[in-house]
Structure 1
Amino acid sequence: MRAGEPSRTAYGAAMHRAMHQQLEGGRVFRDPLAWRILGTDYDEVVASGRYVDRKPLRIMIAVRHRFGEDRLAGAIERGTRQVVILGAGLDTFAYRNPFPDVACYEVDFPATGAWKQQQLAAAGIVEPSTLHRVGVDFEADDDLLARLVESGFDTGRPAFFLWLGVVPYLTPEAVRQTLRTIADISGSEVVFDYTNPADQLSEGGRLARERFSARVGRAGEPMVATFDTAELHDLLGRLGFNQIVDLDRDVIRTRFLGLPSDGESGGAHVLSAVVR
């Protein structure tokens, strides 16, 4: 993040969600507000020459939202009535939320939150009464829970934490601290995505990672945290999480895309875990 500026990777992720609606017809994840919140249209993006040819990244972003909102629906069915969207960016769930008794807390860097409000106002998207905005810098502000409580969050009730497109840009310690905070709220669930270290990738995977890392690094948001899958699962267990569901590249191919297994599991993952 650059001081005083909204997240550029948040904009890129939102653009890929919107492009998925156009290029794949929202087959993996449907978001009827994806284009409106951006304030642009498909023809403008095509004319810019960007985003169209990045299908693997676009599909991964669609999959992580589909998986996250599927898990969220299950948590709400079980009685959860608090949703915390960490690093909300231009996420639109709070404005599509079909559950009138579910409170949504959007947590983000203050500059990104202010930019989002401008985008919403320009698009004429109404902010629901169930929405609460929480300004937090994950690296500098280690009291996420206090910021949430100030906004009305109830620590005595379970919550669902949706944390997408954020972990790779934080330091490992910031990731661990946020997980510790979530682990203190009994019965809660978190969904987040992460990446394996480069030495665990295929040659093609390493080249793709290098290109993407260079691109986001130029935008001022370098990739920082990577996790070995077994070590991450061990960390989650020690913090008090269980019921871990971890989708790797191969599972994503077979479960969401209907493609045959190619046996290549390393790279990007999306994971859910429940607090005991």
Structure 2
Amino acid sequence: MENATPSRTALGVARMRALHQFSPQAGLFRDPYAIAILGEAAPAAQELEQEDERRQRMRLFVASRARFAEDWLAAAVLRGVRQLVVLGAGLDTFSLRNPYRDLSVFEVDHPATQAWKRKCIADSGLAEPAATRFVPVDFERQSLSAELAAAGLQSTAPAFFIWLGVVPYLTKEAILKTLSWIAGVPGSEVVFDYSEPAANRDAAGQAALAFHAARVASVGEPWISFFVPAELAISMGELGFDEIEDIESGDIAARFSEAPKGMTNNSGGGHIIRARRTA
């Protein structure tokens, strides 16, 4: 992503979430603002007819990771967590849909992407949520902890972190540095997604990786970091997380009845992971 322009892949993800609302699997993740926030860039229902299997799998993965994250957030709120940090928020609409009256939301994103998101909200005739604080941060160049502290995050109180569609675009150094800081927040919990390297995949998985990687690279936002699940689990444990749940994209159908049976094949190589520090 160029420093002065908003993320092209964030737009692509937002369009998938919006298109999902027209799909037979819409019950997997319902988002009443997904279409509105895009304005003229919103997809038409007819675009579902143009989906091939790879695009459908990616759309369902995008929808399911959001569903997982918000389900886990609901459980955290029941435990008393009152701070949510959305890292790399893009055009995510949770802050507009936030059902928790006393949950403070901190949206973190690249300055250009965040300015674009706020303009999309205004252009759609929507109001910025009063409980949300927008925090512009360049993950590779700025201190996440310092910027969040300045925005009012209480680092001594539990916080829930949603970090979707971001990790593959960052260096491993930046990823582990961020996770290390999150682990240092008492009662912290984080949900993020990642992708396995080509060497870990079968032929179908390698083809899927090549297809999607080429698409994001073509808009100047290449995937640069991949993780082997067992090695990532060890790293997470070393950082201090003692409760880790890692779900392969192929297990989505087993969790949600709305997902088609064909999703049981994990050739996509994507993972959704939840990690919590309880000690």
Same fold at TM > 0.5:
yes
Contact 1:16–1:51 under 8 Å retained in 2: no
Corresponding position of 2:208: 208
Contact 1:254–1:261 under 8 Å retained in 2: no
How many Å separate the matches in 1 of 2:50 and 2:37? 17
Unpaired stretches in structure 2, ≥5 consecutive residues: none
TM-aligned CA distance change 1:253 to 1:247, over 3 Å: same
Corresponding position of 2:241: 241
Written as runs of structure 1 = structure 2, the 5 A alignment for 1:105-184 is 105-141=106-142, 143-184=143-184
Corresponding position of 1:252: 252
Unpaired stretches in structure 1, ≥5 consecutive residues: none
Corresponding position of 2:69: 68
How many Å separate the matches in 1 of 2:213 and 2:267? 20
The number of residue pairs the alignment matches comes to: 273
Corresponding position of 1:197: 197
How many Å separate the matches in 2 of 1:44 and 1:259? 22
How many Å separate the matches in 1 of 2:77 and 2:9? 29
What's the % identity of the aligned pairs? 46
SS in 2 for 1:104: strand
How many Å separate the matches in 2 of 1:260 and 1:15? 22
The structural deviation recorded for 1:266 is 7.0
Written as runs of structure 1 = structure 2, the 5 A alignment for 1:70-89 is 70-89=71-90
The amino acid across from 1:100 in the alignment is: R
Corresponding position of 2:20: 20
TM-score normalised over the length of structure 1 = 0.94
Range with bigger deviation, 164-173 or 257-266: 257-266
How many Å separate the matches in 1 of 2:273 and 2:75? 15
Contact 1:254–1:260 under 8 Å retained in 2: no
How many Å separate the matches in 2 of 1:262 and 1:36? 32
Q: What root-mean-square deviation, in Å, do the aligned CA atoms of Structure 1 and Structure 2 show?
A: 1.9
How many Å separate the matches in 2 of 1:272 and 1:6? 28
TM-aligned CA distance change 1:50 to 1:250, over 3 Å: closer
The amino acid across from 1:124 in the alignment is: G
TM-aligned CA distance change 1:262 to 1:118, over 3 Å: closer
Task: Report runs of 4+ in structure 1 exceeding 6 Å deviation.
Answer: none
Corresponding position of 2:98: 97
Instruction: Deviation per CA, 1:165-190: give whole Å up to 9, x if none.
Output: 00011111110011011011010100
Range with bigger deviation, 159-168 or 253-262: 253-262
Corresponding position of 1:35: 35
TM-score normalised over the length of structure 2 = 0.93
Contact 1:36–1:123 under 8 Å retained in 2: yes
SS in 2 for 1:34: coil
The structural deviation recorded for 1:18 is 0.7
The structural deviation recorded for 1:52 is 3.6
The amino acid across from 2:209 in the alignment is: R
The amino acid across from 1:118 in the alignment is: K
